[in-house]
Amino acid sequence: MHVVTRDVDVVVVGGGAMGSAAAWQSARRGRSVVLFERFEPGHHHGASHGAARNFNLAYAEDDYLDLVTEARRLWDDLSDETDTQLLDLVGLVNHGDGAGLRAVREAHAAHGIASEFLSPSEARERWAGMRFESEVLFVPESGRVRASHALEAFRASALSHGARFEYSTPVRDIRVESDESVVVVTDAEEVRARRVIMTVGAWTSKLVGDLAPLPRLVVTQEQPVHFTAYDESLVWPSFNHSPDPSSTADAYWYSPVYGMLTPGEGVKAGWHGAGPVTDPDARTFTPEPVQLEALLRYAREWLPGVDATSADPISCTYTTTPTADFVLDRFGPVVIGAGFSGHGFKFTPAIGRVLADLADGLPAPARFAAR
């Protein structure tokens, strides 16, 4: 056993998007922060790697809309501070589930968020690479987050405010001493902190153990693909497409489909949270072949602007709660950020704010409390 080598205000365990944002928010407040990440920067073992994520405002719930509106402001703040473009507001189209989209449009109107319904023919005229058969909710202030640039920007800002990021440093143990003291153990040292923020994605259940009573977290290996567009001049919005519950033609779908153009890589499309359950330490990184074939069929039927034979699979993990709501809560000195259920990235800077608030003693937001 090592002796305690240093005392800090906050230790963050996990250096993906959420942990980096929590370190950024805490360091900006003048807290002393050290972040431990098991893998090297930019690793592909978790859920935060890759060039782009959807930035989508298509929520009907007030608390999610408040959070994503805050996130938009914070993305802009981080972009200005680090002189890094983080959002590409190319717009996002949502189609397939008319009733659900009408509820979203009503919520947008109440929150002052711009969105409009387009007919299928209007949508096809704007975005010739896609097929539309039902009304389309277009949200112009949506689009893409530059995910890899975002991680670099969070780290750069946090470091400028005095945080330390230590990569290739697995955490071996966490010992709670009191409600205001916790010791985090690595191979090289023990660090005492007033709070530890756990943002370890697919490893949450393994590392948190009995430190906190969490809801069931299911880890799946997701296998979206990049397709090559036939015509590079085509305009591509980001998109979410839900199956039509009244149509047997969509019976082969595993889930809604999400996607976006990833510049330099192709048009990304994937099933949402439908991959096989996996152990994050024993992943195959290989697509499940039946699901992959169904996704290629989707591309042939709904993305006429791409070459469905060009599919280049990629791999990530989802960690999903029973409700698909996040877990943002504190148990004594242990703060948990987990269960982002495949739709958390757009909220990242605001989630960092919530985690820093929890570390400072503020209560958990009601929707995201684990208890």
What domains sit in the chain, N to C, each tagged with a CATH number?
Answer: 1-91+145-213+323-371 (3.50.50.60), 92-140+218-320 (3.30.9.10)
Q: Pseudo-torsion of CA 279, 359, 33, 37, nearest 10°? A: 0
Between 84-88, 206-210, 338-342, the lowest mean confidence (pLDDT) is in: 206-210
CA angle 160, 165, 170 (to 5 degrees): 170
> CA 19 to CA 15: how far, in whole Å?
5
For tokens 């507001």, what's the residue? Answer: 89
Burial annotation 189-209 (CB, 10 A radius, 16+ → b, else e): ebbbbbbbbbbbbbbbbebbe
CA angle 34, 31, 6 (to 5 degrees): 45
Sign of the torsion angle spanned by Cα atoms 227, 228, 229, 230: negative
Please state the φ and ψ torsions of residue 131, each to the nearest 5 degrees: -105, 135
HSE-up (13 A, CA, CB side) for residue 158: 32
Give Cα separations from 158 to 27, 127, 189, 218, 338 (angstroms): 6, 39, 22, 31, 21
Give which of 117, 122, 103, 23 is closest to 59, Cα–Cα. Answer: 103
For the cut 70, the answer to whether the pLDDT of residue 1 exceeds it is no
> CA 324 to CA 337: how far, in whole Å?
13
CA angle 62, 67, 73 (to 5 degrees): 130
Residue type, 25: Q
Maximum alpha-carbon separation in the chain? 68
Say whether 248 sits in a helix, a strand or coil: helix
pLDDT at 79: 98
The average pLDDT across 209-231 equals 95
> CA 183 to CA 176: how far, in whole Å?
6
pLDDT at 134: 94
Give which of 288, 284, 282, 287 is closest to 206, Cα–Cα. Answer: 282
pLDDT at 2: 67
Between 22-26, 77-81, 107-111, 229-233, the lowest mean confidence (pLDDT) is in: 229-233
The average pLDDT across 235-255 equals 92
For the cut 70, the answer to whether the pLDDT of residue 80 exceeds it is yes
Give pLDDT tens digits for 158-194: 999 999 999 999 999 999 999 999 999 999 999 999 9
Instruction: Work out the percent of the chain whose per-residue pLDDT is above 90.
Output: 91
Give pLDDT tens digits for 2-39: 677 889 999 999 999 999 999 999 999 999 999 999 99
Q: Find the distance separating the first CA and the last CA of the chain, reported in whole Å.
A: 34
pLDDT at 5: 80
pLDDT at 151: 97
The size of the chain, in residues, is 371
pLDDT at 349: 98
The average pLDDT across 100-127 equals 97
Give the pair of three-digit tokens for residue 85: 């473009």
Query: Does residue 60 or residue 1 have the better pLDDT?
Result: 60
Phi-psi region of 248 (alpha: psi -120 to 50; beta: other; left: phi over 0): alpha
Average pLDDT over the chain reads 96
Give the pair of three-digit tokens for residue 178: 């009191």
For the cut 80, the answer to whether the pLDDT of residue 308 exceeds it is yes
Neighbours of 149 (CB within 10 A): 16
Give Cα separations from 371 to 139, 209, 240 (angstroms): 34, 16, 31
Q: pLDDT band at 245, cuts 50/70/90?
A: confident
> CA 223 to CA 313: how far, in whole Å?
6
Give the pair of three-digit tokens for residue 216: 């069931």
Q: pLDDT band at 195, cuts 50/70/90?
A: very high
Neighbours of 210 (CB within 10 A): 5
The average pLDDT across 126-154 equals 97
For the cut 90, the answer to whether the pLDDT of residue 97 exceeds it is no
**Would you tell me the crossing angle of helices 147-160 and 62-82 to the nearest 10 degrees?**
70
pLDDT at 60: 97
Instruction: Check if the beta carbon of residue 51 is closer than 8 Å to that of residue 265.
Output: yes
The average pLDDT across 224-235 equals 95
pTM of this prediction? 0.97
Neighbours of 264 (CB within 10 A): 8
Give the pair of three-digit tokens for residue 340: 């982002």
